[in-house]
Amino acid sequence: MAQVGSAGPGACGRRGAGAGAGPERTTWRWAPALLWLATAAAVAGDPSRRQWPVPYKRFSFRPEPDPYCQAKYTFCPTGSPIPVMKDDDVIEVFRLQAPVWEFKYGDLLGHLKIMHDAIGFRSTLTEKNYTMEWYELFQLGNCTFPHLRPEMNAPFWCNQGAACFFEGIDDSHWKENGTLVLVATISGGMFNRMAKWVKQDNETGIYYETWTVQASPERGAERWFESYDCSKFVLRTYEKLAELGADFKKIETNYTRIFLYSGEPTYLGNETSVFGPTGNKTLALAIKKFYYPFKPHLSTKEFLLSLLQIFDAVVIHREFYLFYNFEYWFLPMKYPFIKITYEEIPLPNRKNRTLSGL
């Protein structure tokens, strides 16, 4: 199946390129920019709404993508339906991790611990293997920054993420520069219950969020916004399996995070209240000016100039406009501004001891 749902790479640009590249309207070259900004930064609303971190908004259904949004690499090109397992089957669960955009940059981003996460399954009855992952429909840049279309007053977002399930595990790929390790063993019945949850999770959690935003790098610092990416999907799935009775092995598991650091965010409004007929024209202009340097299809000269503009806005003037839950927020940026981490998040403990794991 093309995805676990009805409609159609943190740092989760998918590990490999899909077949059948589409039009390149939405091609971006900002992966190096994020790394540059993180390095350079290291060197150099309504109060009643404010629940921190702001809860990720879920939806009743997944909308069809706008035809304007075209992926350079086809989403989930070899996708297939999640099979129904026999209840007495024994399913092995594998942690899968490999460098982001390995098909393009090799192990370069692996050395920087910028990794893509997925889950593998193996049926002992059929001896078939499966891979399940969650990533962007239109590549990472489109989920992180909008298009400024001249015919539209508001920024235009091509932001959806979805689950992809397909038969097979590319053992050599995951092992060569990443991780392929057994983390749990579950029953076929437990797998089937997980599959029903995946469909519901995928239908209601429809958009990707690159950034984790918090007050400082210190442990226990106030967190303003959570990311919603490939690793968060893996973590949610592990938690669901633990809830169903799965016992996980005691092994270290680390995940990539891209942090923004800011003071308390200010709620600005949604598209209508900011960019509509009665919106704040000064604020609307400021938001579009902020996003302008992130536009795609830049010449080398334009790209370098844009890097300077981004540095000036984020580091010198300490400003960042975040789009979250289809609403705009202002972030008063703080040192170290942006940081890419590879942090340990332990595997969950079994939640329900009354359920039979096998």
Catalytic residue among 69, 116, 147, 158: 116
DSSP conformation class of 56: P
Output phi, psi for 274, to 5 deg: -95, -45
Whether the CA torsion 228, 234, 239, 241 is positive or negative: it is: positive
Any bridge partners for residue 320, and if so which?
331
The separation between the first and the last C-alpha atoms of the chain, rounded to the nearest angstrom, is 28
Catalytic residue among 12, 69, 164, 230: 230
Q: Which two structure tokens, joined as six digits, stand for 166?
A: 């397909």
Examine the residue annotation and report whether 230 is marked as an active-site residue of this protein: yes
Q: At 350, which amino acid appears?
A: R
Examine the residue annotation and report whether 116 is marked as an active-site residue of this protein: yes
Q: Could you check whether the bond before residue 332 is cis, i.e. omega within 30 degrees of 0?
A: no
Whether the CA torsion 121, 235, 73, 105 is positive or negative: it is: negative
Q: What does the alpha-carbon distance between residue 38 and residue 32 come to, in Å, rounded to a whole number?
A: 10
Q: At 86, which amino acid appears?
A: K
Other CB atoms closer than 10 Å to residue 220's CB: what's the count?
Answer: 8
Residue with tokens 């400082």: 216
Q: Which residues are catalytic?
A: 116, 230
